[in-house]
Amino acid sequence: MRSHFVRLVAPIFFLIAAFALPIACFAQSSSSDLILINGKIITVDTKDSIAQALSIHNGKIVAVGSNDQIQKLAPKNAQVIDLHGRTATPGLIDSHCHFDETDRIYGIELSNITNISEAVALVRKTAASRKPGEWIQGSGWDEGKLSDKRYITASDLDKVSPDNPVWLTHTTGHYGVANSFALRLAKISNDTKDPTGGTIDRDASGQPTGVLKETAMAAVTDLIPPYTREQQRNGLLKMMADFNAEGMTAAKDPGTEGIRWDLYQELLKENKSTVRIFALLYGGRTMESARATFARLQAQPKPPQSFGDGMLLSGGVKLYMDGSGGGRTAWVYDPWYKTPSELDGHNTGYPNIDPSTYRQMVKLFHDGGIHVSTHAVGDRAIDWVVDTYADLLKEKPTKGLRHGIIHCNIPTDHAIDTMARLQHDYDSGYPETQAPFMWWIGDIYAASFGAKREQRLMPYNTYTHKNIIWTGGSDYFVTPFPARYGLWSSIVRTTLSGSQPFGTAESVDIHTALRSYTIWAAHQLFLEDRIGSLEPGKDADIAVWDRDLYSIPSDDIKNIHCELTLLRGKVVYTAPDSKL
């Protein structure tokens, strides 16, 4: 610990430890020095050191050590937060989060319903306050959590919404259901063919059920008027506040289309940003769309360059190689299962982009020095993505572009070995994963993957043995965003219904899980020199918890409660019931 000390330049005054002030005063105070004492500070440095205290000057960590050491070094007028034994960690980082709660504010929230009639009742209630023809939107439903154990269909919704188009997005975002009014507007009928990369779900007689998957959704979703600028701004502000309340201070946002990037810039200028954002732009499905995205990215500074001193980064591009595990559209070698014992015919999913076009698109970005993160869930999609990265890196060796594999659910042995090699040789090939899939959509996942594949899901323990680093995340709105759920899922691998179909052979301990939500995630945001661990020279992004993550039973980790969050040494959240 001692070797980590940096001498303070400021004169050292005698410090009165009893000088603790309530938090409210800190937020208003102008002094730039702050110390935290009497804590269990999990630093997540290379030795996983624990400290008692740390000091902050101008938002940066100056020293980490014992109470005595820190108090001796701190200037007299430094503010003091006495942690009274509580545990602090680096601010937690979500490496894949659709960073937007606009839907949650203005749409119908369906993530907590337990049967289809509840969804129908909510649509009925909303329809009563809408003019004929006005859209009704909702999101978050999941047939795995419904007692009906089936999709919501147009015929469920039609009786309560005869005069309004309705669109309800599934929790995965990879499918949704339209009512018949919306299907008519979208010109979807019995005769409509499935689009490339999409599925129009049909009943036994060939009639569309209302459920549209992947690219088939666009026929309906393109008709829905976007939220206003003010609504979207409110959605971002709510997301930032809710992140801070969970001890979270940074996110990689994989979809900054429309006005989102401008809104991020606007909030930053107004000093209202309280979460660091590493933004990806969607590259589309064609060379034409890729070139347009490439031009936009070339006009921005490349990471680790940033706006607002590490607050906002134009990170690179997001592409999709395939679809979803829950929707059985992800691209796999062996057929999907409809139920644990019944195959879904010969369905092996499909690529989202023509595979050779994908390769050309990645080449464009790679050769231009742009970071690429590709959505790949199925084993076949993951192989294609890592092989593409490997070939292009061989052709044009470039270190540090850190190309990512988003979700990376069931990598083959070949993919795992390739990622290990790419990380070692090129600082590339990083799985950007979501442990809470095993929990929140774990029951539909288990059924779809089948007994053999589900053991391979999120193979964290294998990664550890192969020296592969990965990042944690929520894929919010797919799963709830609090990172504590991901920490817990990485260890227990339990589904919402309480079963463990994925086994525990690939579990890791809390020390490793925490790295995936801190320093390893920071690396995939190109911010590892600034955040991700509590060490001298780094920004003071810190979360204080009511319990000690390292000593409580694993099952309690999902219930830890954030009491205080600092971003660059400033309090951005204090729990209303906190006694700190």
The one segment of 244-252, 453-461, 467-475, 544-552 that binds Zn ion by CB under 5 A:
467-475
Q: How far is the CB of 98 from Zn ion (least distance, A)?
A: 6
In the numeric block, the tokens 């299907």 are attached to: 183
Looking at the Cβ atoms of 358 and 426, the one nearer to Zn ion is 358
Q: How far is the CB of 518 from Zn ion (least distance, A)?
A: 21
Q: How far is the CB of 433 from Zn ion (least distance, A)?
A: 12
**Can you name the residues that pair with 277 across neighbouring β-strands?**
251, 312
Looking at the Cβ atoms of 383 and 475, the one nearer to Zn ion is 475
Q: Site residues for Zn ion, window 268-307 (CB under 5 A)? A: none
Looking at the Cβ atoms of 261 and 545, the one nearer to Zn ion is 261
Closest CA to 372 of 352, 388, 357: 388
Q: What is the x/- site pattern for Zn ion, positions 153-192, by CB under 5 A?
A: ----------------------------------------
In the numeric block, the tokens 């490439």 are attached to: 294
- Give CA–CA dist 430/159, Å, rounded: 48
Q: Is 322 in the site for Zn ion (CB under 5 A)?
A: no
- Tokens at 435, concatenated: 């442990």
Question: Which residue is at the shortest CB distance from Zn ion?
Answer: 475
In the numeric block, the tokens 């204080």 are attached to: 544
The one segment of 306-314, 337-345, 428-436, 470-478 that binds Zn ion by CB under 5 A:
470-478
Q: How far is the CB of 471 from Zn ion (least distance, A)?
A: 13
The one segment of 113-121, 228-236, 469-477, 525-533 that binds Zn ion by CB under 5 A:
469-477
Strands 53-57 and 60-65: antiparallel
The one segment of 140-148, 287-295, 474-482, 552-560 that binds Zn ion by CB under 5 A:
474-482
In 384-503 the beta strands, taken as DSSP E runs, fall at 404-407, 430-432
The one segment of 26-34, 199-207, 343-351, 468-476 that binds Zn ion by CB under 5 A:
468-476
Q: How far is the CB of 318 from Zn ion (least distance, A)?
A: 8
Looking at the Cβ atoms of 475 and 541, the one nearer to Zn ion is 475
The one segment of 85-93, 303-311, 413-421, 473-481 that binds Zn ion by CB under 5 A:
473-481
Q: How many CB atoms lie within 10 A of CB 299?
A: 8
- Give CA–CA dist 16/11, Å, rounded: 16
CA distances to 26, 176, 565 from 580, in Å: 12, 44, 12
Question: Residue 62 in contact with residue 15, Cβ under 8 Å?
Answer: no
Q: How far is the CB of 475 from Zn ion (least distance, A)?
A: 4
Looking at the Cβ atoms of 167 and 320, the one nearer to Zn ion is 320
Q: How far is the CB of 178 from Zn ion (least distance, A)?
A: 21
Closest CA to 110 of 193, 167, 30, 182: 167
The one segment of 1-9, 265-273, 475-483, 519-527 that binds Zn ion by CB under 5 A:
475-483
Looking at the Cβ atoms of 45 and 475, the one nearer to Zn ion is 475
Q: Where does 342-430 have alpha helices with state H? A: 355-367, 379-395, 413-426
Near Zn ion by CB under 5 A: residue from 82, 100, 475, 541: 475
- Give CA–CA dist 305/457, Å, rounded: 35
- Give CA–CA dist 37/21, Å, rounded: 13
Q: How far is the CB of 476 from Zn ion (least distance, A)?
A: 9
Q: Could you tell me how many residues of this chain bind Zn ion (CB under 5 A)?
A: 1
The one segment of 8-16, 142-150, 261-269, 471-479 that binds Zn ion by CB under 5 A:
471-479
Looking at the Cβ atoms of 99 and 365, the one nearer to Zn ion is 99
**Can you name the residues that pair with 35 across neighbouring β-strands?**
55, 80
Looking at the Cβ atoms of 82 and 475, the one nearer to Zn ion is 475
Looking at the Cβ atoms of 40 and 375, the one nearer to Zn ion is 375
Using DSSP's 3-state secondary structure scheme, residue 504 falls into coil
Q: How far is the CB of 261 from Zn ion (least distance, A)?
A: 17
CA 538 to chain centre: 23
- Tokens at 548, concatenated: 């000690």
Q: How far is the CB of 201 from Zn ion (least distance, A)?
A: 21
Residue 552, amino acid: I
Closest CA to 166 of 143, 187, 129, 135: 135
- Give CA–CA dist 262/517, Å, rounded: 27
CA 498 to chain centre: 23
Q: How far is the CB of 251 from Zn ion (least distance, A)?
A: 12
In the numeric block, the tokens 């929707």 are attached to: 327
Task: Give me the residues that bind Zn ion (CB under 5 A), please.
Answer: 475
